[in-house]
Amino acid sequence: MESMRLSSVSGLLVLTLMAPMMMPVSGRMGLQRCWFPAVYNFGDSNSDTGACNAALSEIPSPYGQTFFKQPSGRASDGRLIIDFIAESLGLPYLSAYLDSVGTNFRHGANFATGGSCIQAACGYSPFNLAKQVSQFIHFKARTSALYNQLSLNRKIPPHKIDLPRPGDFSKAIYTLDIGHNDLAYGYLVHRAEGKILASIPEIVNQFSQAVNLLYKEGAMVFWIHNMDPIGCLPFSVMLYQPKAHNLDQNGCVKPQNEMAKEFNRQLKDKVSQLRTQLPSAAFTYVDVYSAKYALISDTKNQGFVDPLSFCCGSYGSHGHHVDCGKRINGTVYGGSCSNPSRHISWDGIHFTEAANSWVAKRILNGFFSDPPVAIEEACHQS
């Protein structure tokens, strides 16, 4: 989580106009395949595709080296889970809302920003979840007006306009992956764990408020990721300075993982309440925690090295930690390892593309979801 090291590369988390259209294709559980013309994403650096890079802090090489062959605004060596979501739905990768160059919003937009929290007063980024939703509301109003204006100009065919079709907002899938920095910030400022725990209900309430605002804007389908096992991040282990009794069998910091699990318990309860309050909407709660912990617990059999090591950056004999892509006094460089695909952690905080791909394959098919539906079936109400 970027709030654990504010000077580092920024970055440490899917209603009632009309139902999403469905294609007559049978899904894994006999459900019809949904047709989502767009994805709208909200979150932190786990799903930021360029906002932090455009607005707050450059994400330098060797970030992006594996897939994009250059920095892509993502806090990884390649694709993120949100990129694999877009691929699975047959859609292009999402442009960041805050990026003004080379963007195309025809099939959605990404409001996630590295360092963001659900709460307002924490983290590195000023773009907390409420602000991201506010940006979406502004985006929806402005693009709808502009699309309608341009459509009246017969010199510009509607299919050539790189803006979302106004009718697609109610058919899109809305993905949320955020909350990691809310807990990480508490550890950063050495807040007592009891106080961090006491803050969770309000954090989850603010998450619910954001969902309700999206619903009022016509969002119908939500794909919601829970919190990662934050105690298994290499940086968590290094900065927490744990004693042996605070580590689990995989070397993860137990108190931090227990905190994440409590957040997830309350988040899942809140999603259940939202299903009752908003019966026209479809909610899928995705247990990313269990998927990632399953990988961390079985690294060797899955072809990865020690999950507490990381590929890019350094921490060791020179007496300093060097962030990925950074130098100290112009000499020590936080470069990349030779084979990122063997590592789970890219930079001590974020996953490599290989690890993101492993997790995406296991969450997008519905195995870790409640209800247990694949993402292409997520428009069905539970």
- In contact, 78 and 67? CB cutoff 8 Å: yes
User: Can you read off the two tokens belonging to residue 81?
Assistant: 């889970």
Strand pairing partners for 175? 41, 223
| Residue in 44, 347, 369, 380 annotated catalytic | 347
Q: How far apart are CA 263 and CA 231, in angstroms?
A: 13
**Under DSSP, is residue 146 helix (H, G, I), strand (E, B) or coil?**
helix
Active site residue 347: yes
Residue-level length of the chain: 382
**Under DSSP, is residue 237 helix (H, G, I), strand (E, B) or coil?**
helix
**Cα-based distances in Å from 96 to 40, 42, 156:** 10, 10, 24
- In contact, 82 and 139? CB cutoff 8 Å: no
Provide the pairing of β-strand 314-315 with 282-286.
unpaired
Provide the pairing of β-strand 173-177 with 39-43.
parallel
- In contact, 183 and 135? CB cutoff 8 Å: no
Active site residue 107: no
Nearest to 63 by CA among 125, 10, 6: 10
Q: Is 316 exposed, middle or buried (0-12, 13-18, 19+ CB in 10 A)?
A: exposed
Instruction: Give the alpha-carbon dihedral of 187, 260, 77, 238, to 10 degrees.
Output: 40
* Element housing 35 (H / E): none
Angle at 83 between CA 321 and CA 346, to 5 degrees: 15
Active site residue 350: yes
| Residue in 3, 8, 10, 45 annotated catalytic | 45
| Residue in 180, 321, 343, 350 annotated catalytic | 350
**Catalytic residue ranges:** 45, 347, 350
